[in-house]
Amino acid sequence: MLKHHFASLVVVLLLSACAAAPGNYLNRSRLNDQSTKQPTEVYPVKIIDAGVIVDQSNSRAEVERAQSAKMAQLTSPPVYVYHVQPQDILGVTVWDHPELTTPTATSFSSGGNTTQSLAGALQQPYTTALSGQSDPYGQTVASDGFIFIPYAGRLQVAGKTVTQIRDQIAASLVRFVKNPQVDVRVLSFRSQKIQVTGQVKAPGPLAISDVPLTLVDAITRSGGTTSDADLQRVRLVRKKKLYLLDANRMLDRGDMSQDVLLQSGDVINVPDRVDSRVFVMGEVKTPASLFMYRGTLTIADALTQSGGILDTDANPREIYVLRGIKERPTTPEVFHLDMTQPDSIMLSTQFQLQPLDVVYVGTAVSTTFNRVLQQVLPTLQTLFYLKQLTR
């Protein structure tokens, strides 16, 4: 009887000690946990074989063709010509008539404490974000699109090229000047701009000038990209429409359809690589979140970068890839690869992963039994010691 009471007392003390154990814990008494319900969904599994690799390659080629067709809507014109708009500053020269010519002093003020040469003003749209930092003395196109030229009067120039403006001014002066020789240049491009945002070293606005501005030009003038930039998914917003540009295809394979000519009002966003991750979980040496390199990553790459599968714990017959979790969280695609076969090892170097894929390495049956045993052994040892104490 004494032994019985002693054993009961030990058990109570042990349970009390567990209940009062230090450390953080969650009181689940107020939680209505429904997770014990058995799932009813069944997910079909595709075996990774040569056919899957071929289908994957064809699907990728089809996506690229569709993207190229969509980019055809943004095809650059064969000849690029700049059209003057309000806020641009023009320089007008009428030869042998300095009274009609824009002053060409060696320097001119920007309205503050700085001055610059005429050559500096002409180069500014190509070396700085916007040329509004310096306003050369010239003919500023008014908000209604007009400029004023002595004798010629007010002329509508917005939407016209410098050649058209030159001919227009010459035609207006012919009544007062015999055989007028006119030249027109844009001294400051201030009317049109684009925005470059995201993972570039110098984000901000860029001026549209008489030199065509393409995607590569915009990224280069913004200082280039940072180490976290994802050039495979550059976003272009134009007239409330979103286009995805793959700069890697242009740089690696010369696909110039991606180097689109930019227009005023365009917004370029170079995203980071957060959406280009692949997750490696399960029985690998270093479970990790990996970034894709130039938009590509294979199963073999992912497993290698994670240190490989565990020699004693992993089941090489159970390599799974879960796909579409972001778009279809309740019905993901599941692929299965048995890496105990020679051809499967080669297939692991060909199967291309997609962003946000999950690579899972299963657990060997013996490892599961050992882990259960490790959980049971402490309890068995405790019962054994209790029995020895009650003798």
CA torsion sign, 302 to 307 to 310 to 316?
A: positive
Digit-by-digit pLDDT tens for the chain (391 residues) are 545 554 554 455 455 545 545 556 677 777 777 666 666 677 788 888 888 888 888 887 787 777 766 666 666 667 889 999 999 999 888 888 887 777 754 333 333 333 334 444 444 443 343 444 445 677 889 999 999 888 888 999 999 999 999 999 999 988 888 888 999 999 889 899 999 999 999 999 999 998 889 888 999 999 988 888 888 889 999 988 888 888 887 777 777 777 888 999 999 999 888 888 889 988 889 888 888 877 788 889 999 998 988 877 788 888 889 888 777 777 788 899 988 888 888 888 889 898 888 999 888 765 554 555 455 556 656 655 665 666 6
- Would residue 22 count as lying in a domain? no
| Integer CA distances (angstroms), 157 to 57, 85, 188, 192, in order | 53, 8, 15, 15
Domain boundary among 216, 240, 272: 272
Look up the CATH number of the domain holding residue 342: 3.10.560.10
- Would residue 151 count as lying in a domain? yes
89-94/139-140 β-pairing? antiparallel
H helices of the chain, where?
2-19, 50-71, 118-127, 162-173, 215-221, 247-253, 299-305, 342-348, 365-389
Residues 246, 290 within the same domain: no
pLDDT at residue 247 in the model: 82
pLDDT at residue 72 in the model: 65
Residues 236, 180 within the same domain: no
Domain boundary among 188, 205, 230: 188
Angle at Cα 31 formed by Cα 29 and Cα 37, nearest 5°?
115
Residues 267, 343 within the same domain: no
pLDDT at residue 2 in the model: 46
Half-sphere exposure of 95 (CA within 13 A, CB side): 7
Domain count of the fold of the chain: 3
What are the tokens at 337?
């690869």
Q: Which domain holds residue 290?
A: 275-368
| Per-residue model confidence as pLDDT tens digits over 243-258 | 888 888 777 777 777 7
Judge if pTM exceeds 0.75. Answer: no
